[in-house]
Structure formats: structure tokens, C-alpha cells
């Protein structure tokens, strides 16, 4: 006989079944093995009922109420809205929770503290899905980042630069510099499950550097070099940039010490008819479209290649950047990324 699933029975039907099974065994002398066959119940359920009956009588055979405990685990609308807002606007540690990321456990603890409602992690997971949250790899952001400075940049500083550049017939360039190493690797390679592919490459470590600028019109300027990035190197690049541009350059860079050096400030002041230099808020690389070019170069010009020496690396990076200069539509797509769309 097929075993009955008590979860599909009503509370009344389940109670009646328990009474009949226990009565047959305890009062009529039916053997437990025979009761299993006759009533179609599970072994664990049968002996559990017998144990409960022997300990507390028929009152312990009454099924407990199913489903969510009344008034204990249902969030009200305004409580749910508060939890959603806190998850979107704060990190757990900012709310004095012992978590670094918003996990189901962290959200569960937040709900308990804010509303007194204690939910299981599975229920929390269902709530998060219903609220439109999905597990994602977070973007790391420096503690030192000044939110007020970023807001001021977005609402005042950059719009002012854009207005001036338009009035003067100039063009806005976004600049950055980057170091490249021979042991950088990007991408994946197919291989047998459990056997990591081995790609041969040189054991030597060498590198080069590049400095570049991009515009939202798809213009790319760059210089690849082997020495350290110093004010002399930067001034050499600025000289090239000004000579190559028919319009006044409004160059936006980060707060690297070279960009803030006195020699650079003096040179820019002497050439103020051709160039103006501005700095992004500190610890805000996500606001610079040129960072997307850096990622492109690291992933595609270097990470998927195996240069044998520095000369081959430099040649490969230069070749890739020249190909990007010939595809301005690709450079323009950098500005479609949500974090830099304001500069498009």
C-alpha cells in the first residue's frame, strides 16, 4: 500500500488518522508492522505518534497549526519598504551589523532588529527575489572617497567645464596612465573538467607604461613608454597632445602627484590658450572614461597574448591602440557605461 503524505491531509483528517492508528495499536493490539501496511503511514510517523500518545495522551496527537505563525513572520508594507531602502542606501557595517556584504543572513538580522520579525534565511531569499534583488559581485569603492566632492563634481564642476569648452570651441579629453606587466592574464580557455589548461609563456617579468586620453567623439591619443611615469614624461605627452589637436584641450585627469606637480602647473599656465587641466575628485576612477580603455588594453592587447620580451609587448600594445584609433565608434561606446554616461 502506498504511504500517505500527511502534508496533503487537512488538519482534521490528519488528527483522525493519528487517533485511529494509535487506537489500533494501543487498544486493539495490532502490531506496528501490520499498522504500517493497513493505514499506509510511514514508520517514523507511526512511532512518533505512539511516543507522543504514551507521553501525553490524545491531546499530544493534535496536529500543530501549519504555515506562518500568526502575527510573527509577516512584514507590513512600510516595514518592507524600510528594509529595501536600507539595503540600497547602506552597507551592513554602517548599520552596525556584523557583516560586510548583504547576504540573506545579514538581511535576516536587519529585519529582526528593525521589525522584531524573525524569518528563515529561505524566506528572506524569497523576499529579496520579490523585491528585485539578485546576488552580484560588488564594486569596491575606497573609504576615502568624498561623496560630497563627487556630487559637487557631477552637479557643478563638470557641467561648468562642459559649458566653457563648448563656448570656446574646445574639446574635453579624459586622461589616465597605466602600467602593464608580462604576467597579466585575462580570459578563459576550454579544458577537460578537473584539468586546468596549461598555457606556455615566458618566466621573465617585464613591463611597459602607457598614458592616454579619450573624447566622447571617439578620439584617442596615447604614448607607450618604458621609463617611469614622471613629470618629464607627462609634459612630453602634453606637448604632443596640444600639437595634434586643432582645438583647445580641456584635459581631465585624476590626482596623481605628477599631474599636481609644479612643473606641470607652470607648463599648463604658460600654454593656457591651448590647454586647461582639471582633476577628478579623489578615489573616483569610476568617473573617468579612460579607465575603460585601460581595461580594454589589459584584457585584449595583453591579457590574451604571450609576449616573449618587452619589445614585443610594446609593439603589441602600440598596435592595439592604433587599431582603436581607427575605430572611433568603439571608443565612443566606452562612454555608454553607466558610471561615465554623464560625460557622453
If pLDDT is split at 50, 70 and 90, which confidence band does 184 have?
low
What number is the average pLDDT over the span 137-144?
64
The Cα 238–Cα 261 span in angstroms is 14
CATH 3.30.420.10 applies to domain 147-186+203-343: yes
pLDDT above 70 coverage of the chain, percent: 88
pLDDT at res. 286 = 92
Rounded CA separation 43/35 (Å): 9
Residue 68 pLDDT level (bands cut at 50, 70, 90): low
What is the average pLDDT value for the chain, to the nearest integer? 88
Q: How confident is the model at residue 192 (pLDDT cuts 50, 70, 90)?
A: low
* Confidence band, pLDDT 50/70/90 cuts, at residue 144: low
pLDDT at 186 over 70: no
List helix spans (H) across 74-157: 77-89, 104-115, 121-130, 147-152
The pLDDT value given to residue 181: 87
Q: How far apart are CA 138 and CA 140, in angstroms?
A: 6
pLDDT of residue 159: 97
Task: Kindly tell me if the per-residue pLDDT of 30 is higher than 80.
Answer: yes
Domain regions of the chain by residue span:
6-61, 77-130, 147-186+203-343
pLDDT for the residue 39:
86
Residue 12 has pLDDT above 90, yes or no: no
Q: What is the C-alpha to C-alpha distance for residues 84 and 232, in angstroms, rounded to an integer?
A: 51
280 versus 65: the higher-pLDDT residue is 280
Range from 110-124, 232-246, 261-275, 295-309 carrying the lowest mean pLDDT? 295-309
Q: How far is CA 275 from CA 83, 119, 210, 233, 237, in A?
A: 49, 60, 21, 17, 13
Q: Indicate if the pLDDT at residue 147 is higher than 50.
A: yes
User: Region 84-109: what's the mean pLDDT?
Assistant: 90
Q: Check whether 71 has a pLDDT greater than 50.
A: no
Query: The pTM is what?
Result: 0.62
Which is more confidently placed, 1 or 177? 177
H or E element at residue 34: helix 32-39
Banded pLDDT at 72 (limits 50, 70, 90):
very low
DSSP state, residue 185: -
Supply the pLDDT for residue 245.
95
Amino acid at each position: 500500500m502506498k504511504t500517505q503524505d500527511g502534508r496533503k491531509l487537512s488538519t482534521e483528517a490528519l488528527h483522525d488518522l493519528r487517533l485511529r492508528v494509535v487506537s489500533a495499536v494501543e487498544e486493539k493490539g495490532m502490531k506496528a508492522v501490520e499498522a504500517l501496511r493497513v493505514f499506509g503511514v510511514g514508520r517514523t510517523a507511526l512511532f512518533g505518534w505512539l511516543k507522543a500518545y504514551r507521553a501525553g495522551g490524545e491531546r499530544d496527537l493534535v496536529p500543530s497549526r501549519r504555515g506562518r505563525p500568526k502575527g510573527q513572520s509577516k512584514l507590513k508594507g512600510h516595514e518592507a519598504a524600510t528594509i529595501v531602502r536600507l539595503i540600497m542606501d547602506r552597507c551592513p557595517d554602517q548599520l552596525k551589523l556584523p557583516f560586510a556584504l548583504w547576504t540573506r543572513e545579514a538581511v535576516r538580522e536587519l529585519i529582526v532588529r528593525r521589525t522584531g520579525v524573525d524569518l528563515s534565511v529561505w524566506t528572506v531569499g524569497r523576499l529579496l527575489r520579490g523585491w528585485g534583488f539578485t546576488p552580484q559581485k560588488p564594486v569596491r569603492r575606497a573609504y576615502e572617497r568624498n561623496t560630497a566632492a563627487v556630487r559637487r563634481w557631477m552637479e557643478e564642476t563638470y557641467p561648468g567645464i562642459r559649458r566653457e569648452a563648448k563656448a570656446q570651441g574646445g574639446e574635453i579629453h579624459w586622461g589616465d596612465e597605466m602600467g602593464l606587466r608580462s604576467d597579466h592574464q585575462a580570459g578563459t580557455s576550454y579544458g577537460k573538467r578537473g584539468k586546468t589548461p596549461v598555457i606556455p609563456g615566458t618566466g621573465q617579468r617585464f613591463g611597459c607604461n602607457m598614458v592616454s586620453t579619450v573624447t566622447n567623439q571617439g578620439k584617442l591619443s596615447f604614448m607607450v613608454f618604458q621609463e617611469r611615469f614622471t613629470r618629464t614624461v607627462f609634459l612630453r605627452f602634453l606637448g604632443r597632445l596640444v600639437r595634434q589637436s586643432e582645438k583647445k584641450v580641456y584635459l581631465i585627469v585624476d590626482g596623481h602627484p605628477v599631474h599636481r606637480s609644479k612643473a606641470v602647473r607652470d607648463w599648463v599656465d604658460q600654454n593656457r590658450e591651448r590647454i586647461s587641466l582639471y582633476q577628478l575628485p579623489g578615489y573616483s576612477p569610476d568617473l573617468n572614461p579612460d579607465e575603460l580603455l585601460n581595461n580594454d588594453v589589459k584584457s585584449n592587447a595583453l591579457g590574451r597574448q604571450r609576449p616573449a620580451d618587452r619589445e614585443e609587448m610594446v609593439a603589441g600594445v602600440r598596435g592595439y591602440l592604433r587599431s582603436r584609433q581607427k575605430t572611433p565608434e568603439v571608443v565612443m561606446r566606452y562612454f555608454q557605461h553607466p558610471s561615465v554616461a554623464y560625460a557622453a
